[in-house]
Amino acid sequence: MTLDHVINKNRAKMGIENFTPHDLRRTAATGMGELGYSGEIIGKVLNHTTKSVTGIYNRYDMAKEKREALEAWSEHLRSVVKGEAQSS
């Protein structure tokens, strides 16, 4: 069973009108941006490719930077769930 199927099946119970799994990507990307991560790092986290000359020649995968951004996002989500998040 896919995430999309489970959410669509339970949307009414959860009080969600419209949702796609893509919304999770958008939320994470926006959140990492708010945490101060660059569009370049967020793009790598989202596995986007760069068609520029630099993007073609630069083969560095930014694994360290992606891990840092995802760990920061994870910590932010934990603080939200615990009710400790600061409002912007």
Tokens of 22: 């893509």
What's the pLDDT at 7? 84
Give the residue carrying structure tokens 């989500």: 77
pLDDT (average), residues 3-31: 88
Measure the CA angle with vertex 36, ends 34 and 42; round to 5°.
85
What's the pLDDT at 88? 55
* 50 vs 85: which has the higher pLDDT: 50
Cα first-last separation, the chain: 36
- pTM for this predicted structure: 0.81
pLDDT in tens, 25-78: 999 999 999 999 999 999 999 999 888 888 889 889 999 999 999 999 999 999
17 pLDDT more than 60 = yes
How far is the C-alpha of 84 from the C-alpha of 67, rounded, in Å? 23
